[in-house]
Amino acid sequence: MTDLILEVLSWMSILGGLFFMIVGTIGIVRMPDVYTRLHAAGMTDTMGAGLLLLGMCFQAGLTLVLVRLILIYAFLLFTSPISTHALASAALSGGVEPYTVPADRAGEFNSLNGGQNS
Amino acid sequence: MSLAMTRALMGPTVYDRVLAVNTFGTKTVLLIAALGFLTERPEFLDLSIVYALINFIGTIAVLKFFEYRDLGWTRPPEAGSE
C-alpha cells in the first residue's frame, strides 16, 4: 500500500516536472526579451528540476541516493539564482534595453494606470 | 532540449545564447540523473553533481568575459530599428 502511494506520488511529481520543463522551454523560445526569457528559465530551474528530483527521491527511498539527490537540488538552488542575476546585470551593463509596451499598443494599458492613479 | 538549442542558435544577443546554454546544462544534469535511475546505476548521480557545478562555473566565466572585455554590444541592427 505504501509502495503504491509512493509510486503514484513520484510519477505525479515527475510528470509535473516535465510539464514545467516544457512550458519553460517554450517560454524561452517565445518570449520577446532577454529579461523575460530569464523568467522562463527560472521556472525551468526551480519548478521543473525541483519536481523531477522530488519524484526521483520518492523512487529512491531512504538510501545514500537520497543524499545525492538532495545535494544536486541544493547546488541547483544556490547556483541558478546567482547565474540568473549575473546574466541580468551583465545584459543591463552590456546595453540591452528592457522590453516595454510598443507605442501603438499603449492605449490598451492606459485604463490600468488610470485606475491606479484616481 | 531541442527548443533550448533553437534559442541558443538563433538568439539575437549573446545573453540569449548564454541563457539557453545554461538551461541546456540544467536539463543535461536532470537527464543524467534520470538515466542513472533508469539503468539502475546510482554512480550517475555523482556525475550529475559535477556537471551542475561545471555548468555554473562556465556560465559565470563566460559572463565575466563578456562584461569586462567590452564585447557585450552584439545587437544586430534590425533589432534596434523601432
Whether the model clears a pTM of 0.90, i.e. scores above it, the answer is no
What is the full per-residue pLDDT of chain B (82 aa) written as tens digits? 555 555 555 666 667 778 878 888 888 888 888 888 888 777 888 888 888 888 888 888 887 777 665 444 555 544 444 4
DSSP A39: H
Crossing angle of helices B14-38 and A34-43, rounded to 10°: 10
| Rounded distance between C-alpha atoms, residue A112 and residue B73, angstroms | 35
Best residue of A15, A19, A72 to probe chain B, by most B CBs closer than 10 Å: A72
What Cα–Cα distance (Å) separates residue B68 from each residue in A35, A92, A93, B62, B73? 20, 13, 10, 10, 12
Q: Is residue B79 part of a domain?
A: no
Q: Is residue A106 part of a domain?
A: no
Chain mean position to CA A93: 24
Q: What residues of chain A lie within 8 A of the CB of B60, using their CB?
A: 82-83, 86
Q: Is residue B76 part of a domain?
A: no
Q: Is residue A15 part of a domain?
A: yes
Q: Domain residues for A70?
A: 2-97
Q: Is residue A111 part of a domain?
A: no
Q: What residues of chain A lie within 8 A of the CB of B18, using their CB?
A: 87
Number of domain units in chain A: 1
Number of domain units in chain B: 1
Q: Domain residues for B53?
A: 2-71
Q: What residues of chain A lie within 8 A of the CB of B19, using their CB?
A: 28, 34, 37-38, 41, 87
Q: Is residue B30 part of a domain?
A: yes
What is the mean pLDDT, run by run of 10 residues, along chain A of 118 residues? 84 86 81 80 84 85 82 86 84 71 62 46
ipTM of the complex: 0.71
